[in-house]
Structure 1
C-alpha cells in the first residue's frame, strides 16, 4: 500500500513539473494579416501644364500675281512673286481631363482631355520686291495673319503597362489670330477658326511621394506628346494686294482661294491625377 502511495505521489509531481515547464515555453504567434499591395490605375481626373514647340506644316508654295502698271512706280505691269512663309515658335498652356481604366495594372484606358495654348505664330509681311506707285504698298495677303492661341477637345484611347500609358488622341480644335496691324494703315479683326487635331504620346506615373507632388495628388504623371492641328480658314475670295498707305483702303484685290492653317506641336507636360490609386 505504501508503495502504491509513493508511486502515485511521484507521478503527480511529474505532471505538475511538466505543466510548469509547458507554461514557460513561448506561445505560438498568430499568423500575419495579409495586406495586398495596391495596384496602380489611371482612372481619375487630372490637370496640368505643358510647353513645347510648334511649326508650320502647310504645303503652300510660291505664288505670283500680276500687278497692273497703274499701281507700279514705273507705270509698267509687273509680276509679284511671293514665296512660302514658314511660321514656327513657342507654345505653352494647360490641360484638364479624365481617364478610365477598365482593368487595374495593365489594360485599356479611355479618356477625354481639353487644353488651351498660347502660340507664338507672329504675322510676317511678304514684300513683292516691286516698287509701288506713291502712296501705295504691295504685299501678299497670305502673309498678314498670325495665330495667337489655339485649343483642343480630344478623346484619348490607349493601353497601360502598369505606370506607363501609350495612347492616341483626336478631336476638335480651334484657334484665332489677328491681321497685320502695321500694313499701310490696314486694320483687320481677330479671325476665329475651327478644325481638328490628331496625335499620340506616352505618359508615365511617378510614385505618390514624388518630389513634384505639391498638391498631394494620387499620382504625378509626365508625358511627351505630338499633335497635328488643322484649322480651316474657309474660302477667301479676296485679299489685299495693293493698299493705300494713307487711308488703309484696299485698292486692288486678288483671289487667294481656300487655305488651312496646318501646324504640328511637340510638347512635354506634367499632370496631377486625383482619384483611385
Structure 2
C-alpha cells in the first residue's frame, strides 16, 4: 500500500511541477522581447499621389509609383504598451495626371515626425502612428518644363502597421501611412510680369515594408 501511495505522490508532484514549468515558459515567452531602444531602418514600397486642382476643374486625379524611405525612432515599453517617436524621410516618383492636356504635378520628397503606440505580444507588435508631415511637390503648367512651380507644404500623417522582431536586433515591418497636406497655391508664371495661381488639394498614400536595426 505504501509504495502505491508513494508512487501516486510522486506522480502528482511531477504533474504539478510540469504545469508550473509550462506556466513559466509561457510567461517567459510573453516577455522574451524588449521593444525599448533606438532603431534605424530603410523601407520600400508603393506611393500614391492624389490631388485636385480646384482652379482648373472638380476632378480628383491619382497615380502611383515607387517610394523609398529611411527612418529612425525610439520605443519605450511599459508592460504590453509600447510608446515611441519616429521620423522618416522619403522619396516618391508618383506623377499626376499623365494626360498632357492638364497641369502635371509630381512628388519630390516627403518627411514626417510621428508618435507611435503599439501592443507588445512577444516579438510581434501591431501599432498606430500619427503626427506632422512635410513634403515638396512640383507642377509643370505646360508639361514641357518651361513653366514650373514648386511648393513645400505641411500637413498631417496617420497610419498603422505591424512589426516583427526577427532577432534581438532585427525588426521587420509592414505599414500604411496616409498624409493630407490640405489645399495649397502653386504660382505659375505664364508670361512676364503675370501670375497664374492654382489651388491644389494634395494627399498621399504610402504602403511599404521596412527593415530596421535596434541598438
- Please point out which of 146, 164, 180 is paired with 1:186: 146
Distance 2:109 2:55 in 1: 30
Aligned residues: 186
Gaps of 5+ in 1: 1-36, 66-80, 129-139, 209-218
For 1:233-244, what aligned pairs fall within 5 Å after superposition?
233-235=183-185, 243=190
Instruction: Tell me, yes or no, if structure 1 residue 260 matches structure 2 residue 210.
Output: no
CA RMSD in angstroms comes to 3.0
- Please point out which of 71, 76, 81 is paired with 1:100: 76
Distance 1:47 1:91 in 2: 18
Match of residue 153 from structure 1 = 113
Q: 1:184 to 1:262 in 2, by over 3 A?
A: closer
- Matched residue of 1:50: which SS? strand
Residues 91 and 119 of structure 1 are in contact (CA less than 8 Å); yes or no, is this contact kept in structure 2? yes
Runs of 4+ in 1 over 6 A off after TM superposition: none
Instruction: Tell me, yes or no, if structure 1 residue 163 matches structure 2 residue 123.
Output: yes
Greater strand fraction, Structure 1 or Structure 2: 2
Q: TM-score, normalised by structure 1?
A: 0.58
1:47-101 CA distance string (max 9 Å, x none): 000000011345x49x897xxxxxxxxxxxxxxx896432210100110000000
| Greater mean deviation of Cα atoms: 188-197 or 174-183 | 174-183
Residues 158 and 177 of structure 2 are in contact (CA less than 8 Å); yes or no, is this contact kept in structure 1? yes
Distance 2:155 2:77 in 1: 29
- Please point out which of 107, 113, 120 is paired with 2:93: 120
Gaps of 5+ in 2: 1-27
